[in-house]
Structure 1
């Protein structure tokens, strides 16, 4: 499952990762999540449609692979039925041979906010921490990255990534990698040109430790791209919500963007910029056929969408960039 990516690591600036990663992947394979084997069976049943030309792929706002003419109605129906078994699909959208996967998040909108503030990714080694289904990995390849590496312990996300990668032409597929590990399992590699962390910080009990771990993955002069929920306030404002925030149990610290910039400065980051401040809209995160559970609308006060159901201000998301 991971052999090609491990071989690619051997020839990359991140070869030191091989001191720990193979053992972690063996442990993962020995004790999979209860549904992982079922999801992998779904993956194996997907129809084989081989694309060899990268021109058949568009890594734009919708990750589009092939055209409707390159698959039969029967193949599309089979693909749809199988991929529906991998719900919920949270990050996207994707289009496979004319079949659209309309994900919970319009992740393309986030990318449009991030992209203008990136150092050039041309020929670069890029890491996405908490990459979900891998949507943004393909956008990073579109931007010219040499190799994109995603880490996320979510086994469903891994399977979704594998399903999309199955149909990618080899010339693209060989440059995209996903390992089901958490950042706390990674050594201090100091080897990536750019490290992304989008939608993760507020889930960490120790946010400063997490930011320090991100710093340890960047090579000198590398760029951190950090996207997270923030609150309004000055450079001393930090909120710790109660048991739930917008129905999420695992939300710990919500700093203001200005306070987050102070955290980064205290940890030794340089050239820190708050490049975007945005209220999440009901059009950007919503329930769909491919994610039929509760979504943002259900987490807000039905009488005032400016507030969460618990009485906090509705989510504001900020993007910060910094360098080591």
Structure 2
């Protein structure tokens, strides 16, 4: 009996591994095509942004994209005619990014770095932005509150954040609450990066904690598969003109201001 269970377990592992290879292959093939874009919700998310803010709002502004992937979002951002488009991604992504980087039709700069581990000097040198575009990145970070605070700090007052992330899976009765599913030491799907999967409620609460008050829940997943909204979340936020970030340890009145997400 134990031998049968072991064989079944091994078969499931092999199937999952082969499925992940197939998914990666399809992303690689279809990721370079505008006509067969693999994740249509990204295009819809961009349309929602321009509908909310206007096509010319970001003209001559500074835009930041974290984790540019296949370049399709980058092309859309470049079409907004910004003064500069800054793209930040990990060293391992350089080769794939260089394949399409030259096609960007606005002034741009590629920064090879992990936002979470940049020196303070390098982080500050990025400057302030009118738009931060960050899709499919949050859930690859173990320190998600700090990550969101960094995005907040990169925005000029009145600037916009477009955020999209995977969320907690399987446990339907928990999806509507503020929960985080932790995968460690075995990361989710053996990705090596996904240790924390938050619910949409947890993400929205974190956004409130770091200072965002106006949060628009996106409906972009309708463009591809409504079921995606069960395990992904997207939103558009605006940084207020005055900092309204949360603090803690303030009740006694004897402590300095400890801003949530600002720990060093």
Kept in 1, the 8 Å contact 2:215–2:237? The answer is: yes
Give the Cα–Cα distance (whole angstroms) in 1 for the partners of residues 60 and 165 of structure 2.
Answer: 27
Match of 2:176 among 234, 239, 259: 234
- Could you list the structure 1 runs, at least 4 aligned residues long, displaced by more than 4 angstroms after superposition: none
1:76 aligned partner: none
How many angstroms does 1:234 deviate by? 2.6
Give matches, 1:175-254, under 5 Å. Answer: 175-184=107-116, 185=118, 186-188=122-124, 191-231=128-168, 233-242=175-184, 243-254=186-197
Higher helix share: 2
Indicate how the Cα distance of structure 1 residues 130 and 214 shifts in structure 2: closer, same or farther if over 3 A, else same.
same
Give the Cα–Cα distance (whole angstroms) in 2 for the partners of residues 90 and 129 of structure 1.
Answer: 22
Indicate how the Cα distance of structure 1 residues 200 and 220 shifts in structure 2: closer, same or farther if over 3 A, else same.
same
Kept in 2, the 8 Å contact 1:196–1:224? The answer is: yes
Indicate how the Cα distance of structure 1 residues 88 and 319 shifts in structure 2: closer, same or farther if over 3 A, else same.
closer
What residue ranges of structure 2 are gaps of 5+ in the alignment?
1-25, 240-264
Give matches, 1:38-49, under 5 Å. Answer: none
Give the Cα–Cα distance (whole angstroms) in 1 for the partners of residues 191 and 134 of structure 2.
Answer: 19
Give the Cα–Cα distance (whole angstroms) in 1 for the partners of residues 65 and 156 of structure 2.
Answer: 15
Give the Cα–Cα distance (whole angstroms) in 1 for the partners of residues 89 and 148 of structure 2.
Answer: 16
Give matches, 1:60-79, under 5 Å. Answer: none
Give the Cα–Cα distance (whole angstroms) in 2 for the partners of residues 177 and 91 of structure 1.
Answer: 25
Indicate how the Cα distance of structure 1 residues 259 and 236 shifts in structure 2: closer, same or farther if over 3 A, else same.
same
How many angstroms does 1:152 deviate by? 0.3
- 1:145 is paired with a residue whose SS is coil
Which is worse superposed, 247-256 or 219-228?
Answer: 247-256
- 2:113 is paired with a residue whose SS is coil
- 2:156 is paired with a residue whose SS is strand
Give the Cα–Cα distance (whole angstroms) in 2 for the partners of residues 108 and 278 of structure 1.
Answer: 8
- 1:216 is paired with a residue whose SS is helix
RMSD of the alignment, in Å? 3.4
Give the Cα–Cα distance (whole angstroms) in 1 for the partners of residues 181 and 152 of structure 2.
Answer: 24
Kept in 1, the 8 Å contact 2:179–2:199? The answer is: yes
Kept in 1, the 8 Å contact 2:41–2:221? The answer is: no
TM, length-normalised to structure 2: 0.63
Match of 1:161 among 97, 115, 119: 97
1:264 aligned partner: 207
Give the Cα–Cα distance (whole angstroms) in 2 for the partners of residues 91 and 182 of structure 1.
Answer: 26
Give the Cα–Cα distance (whole angstroms) in 2 for the partners of residues 113 and 158 of structure 1.
Answer: 25
Give the Cα–Cα distance (whole angstroms) in 1 for the partners of residues 212 and 84 of structure 2.
Answer: 24
Give the Cα–Cα distance (whole angstroms) in 1 for the partners of residues 29 and 193 of structure 2.
Answer: 17
How many angstroms does 1:215 deviate by? 1.0
CA displacement, residues 105-159 of structure 1 (integer Å, 9 cap, x when unaligned)? 714442223421343332221101112243311110123333211100134x323
How many angstroms does 1:256 deviate by? 1.6
Give the Cα–Cα distance (whole angstroms) in 1 for the partners of residues 198 and 68 of structure 2.
Answer: 22
How many angstroms does 1:163 deviate by? 2.7
1:92 aligned partner: 31
Alignment length (residue pairs): 199
How many angstroms does 1:280 deviate by? 11
- 1:202 is paired with a residue whose SS is helix
